[in-house]
Each structure stands twice: as structure tokens, then as C-alpha cells.
Amino acid sequence: MMQPIVLGIETSCDETAIGIVRGRTLLANVIASSVEEHARFGGVVPEIASRAHLEAMLPSIQRAVTDAKISLKDIDAIAVTAGPGLVGALLVGVASASGLAQGLGRPLYGVNHLAAHVSVEYLTHDKPTDPTIALLVSGGHSSLLQVDDITGSITKLGATMDDAAGEAFDKIARLLALGFPGGPAIDREAQGGSPTAIDFPRGLTTSQDWQSRPYEFSFSGLKTAVARYLENTPRFVRADVAASFQEAVVDVLLLKALAACKSTGINSLVIAGGVAANSRLRAVAADRCEKAGVQLRIPAAGLCTDNGAMVAALGSLMLSSGRPATHGAFDADSSLKVEQVNL
């Protein structure tokens, strides 16, 4: 039997993204970003994002259907990001998805953006990858999760107490005049620098922290340390600052993720979210996981930042595991908790 086709819609931030999968096979992944319209403000402006989603929605759906070489009526189910994210931006996606699902007479799954980030990795594996520890690092969220079943059983082990990892990259990039979004810019700049040039602090890694909050993150002290270093060092080497800052983030993320693997006895780690595209994080993770005997899975770099394929992937997994669709009209939930996989 042919596997069902699922179309996923993602509009939680500044990407209007449509993905189409058949079972676990990716058929289309269309991304229209309004990032350039936000760049001069140094961050995403919600009103601009909502308007851009409205304009990009129909052309993006049309392009995805064309890329997938299907027609709209071939779609078996629709999935949409219901939260967390910018409420106005989410609403455009939810309204579009509801209309499409009703028009086609197909089930609709309102799904969690964070779980979707993790589930995109499942597109590349035939066998279930549960249980796993997941390190979810994006612009809005950073948490360590125990995933027993990606379609319904996610436990939060810890999260950031202040900035998200991606947010830290974005803020340091601004200090270094590297533009927005900062992650890719720091990643590039760091290639020419030394990760050991400056010994920046690793947040929440004292022995006291390991006792009381082993899986929490904090990046605000690191941000202050970088700012102070720049103030006190007029002739700083930008590439060294970028590489040393990046190293501090990567080090602490992996220390905590591998500690979670060890204490739960789960020898599997998925790293997901925009920061998982970071080349240094990918390299150091590969090295440390191999040494620790932990199986590492990271989505292809292009599927780490926001996309529709991840939403379609989670919808497809929900459908194949017999999870009920979302009934009736539903609102977007801008602060949807990571443990709640669907509405």
C-alpha cells in the first residue's frame, strides 16, 4: 500500500514553510523567509512576519504541490504548527491549514513546533528511534528532553533559565557587528579563529549546579563575559572571540546532553533546532558521542532551522501511529509547552 501523503505548514516565526512527505519520504520543502525585512531591526518584527505569511502562503503551497508532483486532492492529512511562536504568525498558519483541511475533507493535526524540530530527524530512519535524549536548541527555546514516543510522550529534563542558545548567538553576533541572524554568521567567522583563545565561562557547571540543576542552561553570564571582554580589549580578534564564544556554548550543551544520556541509560541523542546547524556543535558532538558510546543523530543542516518538512514529518508520524486528529476549530497557543505534542 502507498504510504499516506501529509502536508505540513509552519509559520511560527519568520519562515512561511510548506513541507510534503509520503510516509517518511520527503517530497517537497518550500521556504519563503521574511528575514531580510527584519534584518534592519536586528530581530523579528511580529507584524511584518504576519503580513509576509499571508502573502507567501498560497504561492508556497502551490509550489510545494508542484515540487512534490502531486495534486491537492492526493493529500491525506494536513499538519500545522499550533505553537509555540508569535501568535499572529501562528494564526495565519492555523487558519490556512483549517481551511485547506476542511476544503479537502482531510484530518488536521495541530502540532508542537518543538516536537516537530526533533521529529524531522525521523525522516531519515526506517526504524523507531525512541527512546532518545533530545537536545533542542533554537532561537526561542533550549531544552533537554527525554523522548519515549515522539508522538505523545516527551519529558522535559531541563531548559534554559534565561536566553535560548540561538538567542545567545544572535546577541553576540550583534556585539561583533556580524548581522542577523547571528548563528550562521558566528559559525562562519569562527572558522578563522581559535576556540581556545579566550576562556569564556560555562554556565551552570559548578559542582553545586551539577547537584541541583544538572540539565538547566544559562547563557546570560557568557553574554556578559563576552561584552566585558570586548570593552576591555580594544584590539580584540573578532574570529577568536566568535570561536571561543561558540566553543563555550557547544561545550556546555554537550556536557549536559551526554550527562543526561548517562544518567538515564539512554544511549541515543538527537540534536535539533536551528543551532543544530552549527558546524562546530556537529563536529564536537560526533567526537564526544563516539567516545561515550552514544548513537548521535542530527538532521541535515538544511532541515535544522524552521521548515515545513518537520511539521509534515510529525503529522505523518501521528497519522501512522493512530493518534487522533485535532477536532473542531482550535486556536494557536503561543506558549505551548514542549511536553504537549499536539492539540
Per CB under 5 A, the list member of 189, 247, 306, 333 interacting with Zn ion is 306
Pick from Zn ion, ligand KG4, none: which does 181 bind, CB < 5 to 8 A by kind? Answer: ligand KG4
Q: How far from chain centre, in Å, is Cα 101? A: 25
- Residue 133's DSSP bridge partners are 146, 269
Task: Give CA–CA dist 301/264, Å, rounded.
Answer: 27
Total residues in contact with ligand KG4, by rule CB under 6 A: 20
Q: Which of 178, 306, 310, 318 binds ligand KG4 (CB under 6 A)?
A: 306
Q: Which does 93 bind (CB under 5 to 8 A by kind): ligand KG4, Zn ion, none?
A: none
Q: Give me the least distance between CB of 178 and Zn ion, in Å please.
A: 21
Q: Is 94 annotated as a binding residue?
A: no
Indicate whether 181 belongs to the interface with ligand KG4 (CB under 6 A): yes
C-alpha cell at 168: 545567545
State the minimum distance, in angstroms, from the CB of residue 27 to ligand KG4.
Answer: 21
Site size for Zn ion, by CB under 5 A? 2
Bridge partners of 30, per DSSP, are: 18
Q: What does 28-81 look like in DSSP terms, one character per residue?
A: EEEEEE-HHHHHTTTS--HHHHHHHHHHHHHHHHHHHHHHHT--GGG--EEEEE
CB of 232 to ligand KG4, least distance (A): 25
The span from the CA of 283 to the CA of 298, in Å, is 11
3-state SS, one letter per residue, for 188-255? HHHCCCCCCCCCCCCCCCCHHHHHHCCCCECCHHHHHHHHHHHHHCCCCCHHHHHHHHHHHHHHHHHH
- What's the rounded Cα separation, in Å, for the pair 89 and 246? 30
Tally of residues, the chain = 343
273 is in an annotated binding site: no
Q: Does 29 bind Zn ion (CB under 5 A)?
A: no
Per-residue x/- marks for ligand KG4, 150-179, CB under 6 A?
----------------xx-xx---------
First to last CA, the chain: 29
Q: Which of 112, 278, 316, 326 binds ligand KG4 (CB under 6 A)?
A: 278
163 binds, among Zn ion, ligand KG4, none (CB under 5 to 8 A by kind): none
Q: Which residues pair with 156 in a beta bridge?
A: 145
Cβ atoms of 146 and 260 closer than 8 Å? yes
Would you say 114 and 136 are in contact if contact means Cβ atoms under 8 Å apart?
A: yes
Would you give the binding string for ligand KG4 spanning residues 109-138, x where CB under 6 A is met?
-----------------------------x
- Cβ at position 307, least distance to ligand KG4 in Å: 8
Strand partners, 111: 81, 342
Among 8, 203, 274, 299, binds ligand KG4 (CB under 6 A): 274
Taking CB under 6 A as the rule, does residue 315 contact ligand KG4? Answer: no
Min dist. Cβ of residue 262 to ligand KG4 (A): 25
Buried residues in 239-256 as b, exposed as e (16+ CB within 10 A): bbbbbbbbbbbbbbbbbb
User: For the window 199-238, what string marks contact with Zn ion as x by the rule CB under 5 A?
Assistant: ----------------------------------------
Q: Is 11 in the site for ligand KG4 (CB under 6 A)?
A: no
Query: Minimum distance between the CB of residue 281 and ligand KG4, rounded to whole angstroms?
Result: 7
Q: Using the rule CB under 5 A, is 138 a contact of Zn ion? A: yes
Chain residues that interact with Zn ion, rule: CB under 5 A = 138, 306
Chain residues that interact with ligand KG4, rule: CB under 6 A = 13, 138-140, 166-167, 169-170, 181-184, 187, 273-275, 277-278, 305-306
